[in-house]
């Protein structure tokens, strides 16, 4: 199969109507999309990504009415929709029968969001069904933030990549749901926890599940092929004398074989936007290992630390 890269929304829509897969841009990362109401099309997502069937997908909709067609929108969800949609936040809600079980991995809940990317919105408006769309990369690997990233890993496996330019957020959506009457954070992401708590009040405690109820909950995820270590950069570099250590830094430069600073101005949004591209670049380099400093545990720094922690987890 030859994979095309282009900006033709109608071509992408036609492929999706025919049950095909299309990589699409969002403000967070590129997604691998299929008709969320077509179980056979969704199954192709799992096959192309080599994604385990127990890991549920997010459904992307173009407006509140379409969200109502796939999920029961709860009062707390209405508050977050009012404040953050379109945007990088996914709400895990009781699903409706219209959503095939393969989308939710058999769960009775479904993750729903409206993406903020204008090209994704135009595509969704051109369709009469929502899109199931996890990140457009092999399962567990670093998420793609450009069309070229998708082509490098899924080229030849999908017919079309809708090119919407570099993703402006650069990390996946925040995921929020309800557990035992508490509103909880399943995954840190593009909407900071502090912003959600400003609307709903304090969120519930940490969620620990044997099986994921939302994407991105596995201990090892978003991982390059090279080993990743997190912590005191100087100590870790000294502990690996003779190794080519590639460092991911926030605003400083470190004395190492190579150092990539994500934001010299200390802007966490810029750092998040660059994170996955830098991880990919260092993974393709001659580095022996990747060392990352820990980012401030606030705002988007929380999402960056989450992604780095999962990249460094035992596989």
Note whether residue 212 is domain-resident: no
Sign of the dihedral through C-alpha 209, 212, 214, 216: positive
The answer, yes or no, to whether residue 215 has pLDDT greater than 80, is no
Domain that holds residue 282: 228-312
Please state, in angstroms and rounded to a whole number, the distance separating the CA atoms of residues 213 and 194: 22
What's the CA gap between 269 and 169, in Å, rounded?
7
| Whole-number Å distance between alpha carbons of 176 and 203 | 9
Nearest CA to 141 among 223, 48, 218, 215?
Answer: 223
* pLDDT grade for 223, boundaries at 50, 70 and 90: confident
Residue after which a domain boundary falls, among 200, 219, 245: 200
The per-residue pLDDT of the chain, averaged, comes to 94
pLDDT tens digits along 289-305: 999 999 999 999 999 99
pLDDT tens-digit profile of 100-151? 999 999 999 999 999 999 999 999 999 999 999 999 999 889 999 999 999 9
Cα 315 to chain centroid distance, Å, stands at 19
Q: Name the residue among 67, 13, 54 with its Cα closest to residue 35.
A: 13
Same domain, 116 and 255: no
Structure tokens at 157: 């496996």
Are 65 and 25 in contact by the 8 Å Cβ rule? The answer is no
223 domain-assigned: no
Are 59 and 188 contained in the same domain? yes
Determine if the pTM surpasses 0.85: yes
Spatial contact of 79 and 201, defined as CB atoms under 8 Å apart: no
For residue 240, give the CATH number of its domain.
Answer: 3.40.50.11030
Are the CB atoms for 80 and 89 separated by under 8 Å? yes
Under the banding of pLDDT at 50, 70 and 90, the label for residue 210 is very low
Per residue in 225-257, pLDDT tens?
999 999 999 999 999 999 999 999 999 999 999
User: What is the domain count for the chain?
Assistant: 2
Domain edge (last residue) among 150, 180, 200 = 200
Q: Is residue 211 part of a domain?
A: no
Tracing tokens 């749901």 back to the chain, one arrives at 177
Report the pLDDT value the prediction gives residue 152, as an integer from 0 to 100: 96
Kindly state whether residue 209 falls inside one of the protein's structural domains: no
């Amino acid at each position: 199969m030859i994979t095309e890269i282009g900006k033709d929304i109608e071509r992408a829509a036609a492929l999706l109507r025919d049950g095909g897969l299309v990589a699409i841009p969002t403000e967070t990362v590129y997604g691998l999309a299929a008709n969320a109401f077509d179980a056979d099309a969704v199954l192709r997502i799992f096959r192309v990504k080599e994604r385990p069937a127990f890991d549920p997908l997010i459904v992307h909709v173009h407006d509140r009415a379409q969200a109502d067609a796939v999920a029961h929108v709860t009062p707390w969800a209405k508050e977050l929709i009012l404040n953050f949609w379109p945007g990088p936040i996914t709400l895990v809600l009781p699903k409706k029968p219209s959503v095939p079980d393969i989308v939710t991995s058999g769960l009775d809940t479904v993750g729903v969001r409206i993406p903020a990317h204008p090209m994704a919105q135009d595509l969704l408006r051109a369709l009469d069904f929502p899109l199931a769309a996890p990140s457009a990369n092999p399962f567990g690997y670093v998420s793609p933030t450009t069309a070229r990233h998708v082509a490098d890993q899924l080229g030849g496996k999908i017919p079309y990549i809708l090119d919407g330019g570099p993703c402006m957020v650069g990390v996946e959506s925040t995921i929020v749901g309800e557990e035992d009457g508490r509103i909880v954070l399943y995954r840190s992401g593009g909407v900071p926890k502090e912003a959600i708590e400003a609307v709903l009040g304090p969120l519930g405690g940490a969620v620990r599940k044997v099986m994921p109820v939302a994407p991105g909950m596995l201990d090892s995820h978003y991982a390059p092929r090279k080993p990743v270590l997190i912590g005191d950069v100087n100590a870790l570099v000294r502990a690996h004398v003779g190794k080519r250590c590639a460092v991911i830094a926030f605003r400083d430069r470190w004395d190492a074989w190579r150092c990539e600073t994500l934001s010299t101005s200390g802007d966490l949004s810029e750092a998040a936007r660059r994170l996955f591209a830098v991880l990919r670049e260092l993974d393709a380099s001659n580095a022996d290992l990747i060392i990352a400093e820990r980012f401030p545990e606030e705002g988007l720094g929380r999402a960056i630390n989450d992604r780095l922690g999962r990249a460094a987890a035992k596989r």
